[in-house]
Amino acid sequence: MQKNKVKENVFDNIRVVELADGLGAYTGKLFADLGAEVIRVESKEGDPTRLEKPFLKDIPGIENSLRYQYLNTNKKG
């Protein structure tokens, strides 16, 4: 049986402007992981996942939320 292989840069020529959080942020992550240029736009209040536990080294901070970091890997903005 042959395994399905996903081409890593299948969305190389696609640009996405992400205005979402939650599941929308995960969808943006999938696009970014597959090569799309994803530009993240947050509200002036900031993304609520920035304040979600767990935090890097258990130190709270807007850049330390592991969930936020995971969901925004490979994105710009």
Q: How confident is the model over 23-62, as pLDDT tens digits?
A: 999 999 999 999 999 999 999 999 999 999 999 999 999 9
Q: What is the pLDDT of residue 9?
A: 83
Q: Are 39 and 20 in contact (CB under 8 A)?
A: no
Alpha helices in the chain, H assignment, sequence order:
23-33, 66-71
Q: What is the pLDDT of residue 77?
A: 86
pLDDT band, residue 2 (cuts 50/70/90): low
Q: Which two tokens stand for residue 11?
A: 């969305």
Asked whether the predicted pLDDT for residue 18 surpasses 70, the reply is yes
The domains of the chain are located at 15-76
The reply to whether the predicted model has a pTM over 0.95 is no
> Across the beta sheet with 75-76, what order do the strands follow?
15-18, 37-40, 75-76
Asked whether the predicted pLDDT for residue 11 surpasses 90, the reply is yes
